[in-house]
Amino acid sequence: MSAFLHQRQQQQLLANPYPISPHSSSHQRSLSPFGRTGLLVLLSVMVVLGVLSPWMRIPEGLFSGSEVLISKWRDYTLAEAVSFVAKNGTVIVCAVSQPYLPFLNNWLISISRQKHQEKVLVIAEDYATLYKVNQKWPGHAVLIPPAPDAQTAHKFGSQGFFNFTSRRPRHLLQILELGYNVMYNDVDMIWLADPFPYLEGYHDVYFTDDMAAVKPLNHSHELPAPGKKGRTYICSCMIFMHSTGGAKQVMRKWIEELQSQPWSKTRKSNDQPAFNWALNRTAGQVDLYLLPQVAFPSGGLYFKNQTWVQGTKGLHVIIHNNYITGFEKKIKRFRDFGLWLVDDYSLESPLGRL
């Protein structure tokens, strides 16, 4: 990993309120955490136990079977994946690399409790994640090539690097272009209630404010006024879009903004500012909708203001574990607030225990 990447990761930990750093995985080219032999053993156990689904057609020998399985998922396209998981024209997506699998499971348990798990598509940012998720939950993970591992070698400022950082809006744009509505979530989120009833009307793009200051319950659903840096602080962690021209326009603008505002040591940007600039530039032409803060509070509010949490009990819908840096600290904070479900409820996840 280049020193530059390391630097970006560090600045992301410091400045980036969402955690999904698809940059690093030491397992990127391995087929599974067990290696090939382990995978074969696992597969044979699964066959003996009869738990392999028809999705994983195993023809003659086990060996060729696993080859078929691997190449099947390697070739699984976004169009196939989305048409398999979408319900009522809508998919819920996240983008996950291997270190975030425990967060993925926590998030999935909470979604399963709201009975929306069937429309979840995991965008795997490495092959290990692709195979792991599809092995446990066939058809629910896809890898959109090129895999970022090849890209991480690129240095900052290169086109390859920009291509890499613009992966998220590209994925979302592709899904919109396939004709589906899409909800994107970072996986350090947890659902306490069903968010879909909050997606009122037929606006192009729905999003949440990343600020921590308490707003009145009846705050406006307009894009907020720009803050100190001349832009808004909308979170790129939770976005819902209808498959409309307006939503596609925002995604294209986001991609453009990422390309036109290169990362620099002084600016320390990540892709959230670019999303905010994209909203700023398209605000006049696109129908934007700010979701209610009480239902979708930032981590800076939910985890730091007990008075507010008590006073608004029962009104929270999705909680974001941001405004904190580090994997272990996030897990500890979820545990402290009774929101780390994987210890006791992993069987409620479609992935089971990982």
We find the least distance from the C-beta atom of residue 224 to ligand NAG, in angstroms, to be 8
Provide the mask over 62-91, with x wherever binding to ligand NAG is found by CB under 6 A and - wherever it is not. --------------------------x---
H/E stretch holding 203 reads none
* β-bridge pairing 234-241 and 181-185: antiparallel
Q: What is the helix (H) or strand (E) element at residue 182, kind and residue range?
A: strand 181-185
Q: Residue 252: in which H helix or E strand, if any?
A: helix 245-260
Nearer to ligand NAG, 57 or 155 (CB): 155
Question: Which of 33, 139, 160, 246 is close enough to bind ligand NAG by CB under 6 A?
Answer: 160
Question: Left (φ > 0), alpha (ψ -120 to 50) or beta: where does 198 sit?
Answer: alpha
Distance of alpha carbon 295 from alpha carbon 317, whole angstroms: 5
Position 315 contacts ligand NAG (CB under 6 A): no
Separation CA 163–CA 170 (nearest Å): 9
Which residue among 49, 307, 314, 328 contacts ligand NAG (CB under 6 A)?
307
Instruction: Decide whether 159 or 266 has the Cβ nearer to ligand NAG.
Output: 159
CB of 242 to ligand NAG, least distance (A): 8
Nearest residue (CB) to ligand NAG, 16 versus 152? 152
The residue (of 88 and 266) whose beta carbon lies closer to ligand NAG is: 88
Nearest to ligand NAG of 280, 325 (CB atom): 280
Count of all residues that appear for the chain in the document: 354
Shortest spacing between CB 340 and ligand NAG, in angstroms: 24
The helix/strand/coil state of 156 is: coil
- Our CB check for ligand NAG shows the closer of 131 and 240 to be 240
Q: Which residue has the tokens 């090849």?
A: 150
Is residue 59 a contact point for ligand NAG (CB under 6 A)?
A: no
Residue 230 touches ligand NAG, criterion: CB under 6 A: yes
CB of 100 to ligand NAG, least distance (A): 24
Instruction: Give the footprint of ligand NAG on this chain (CB under 6 A).
Output: 88, 159-160, 163, 214, 216, 218, 220, 223, 226, 230-231, 280, 283, 305, 307-308, 311
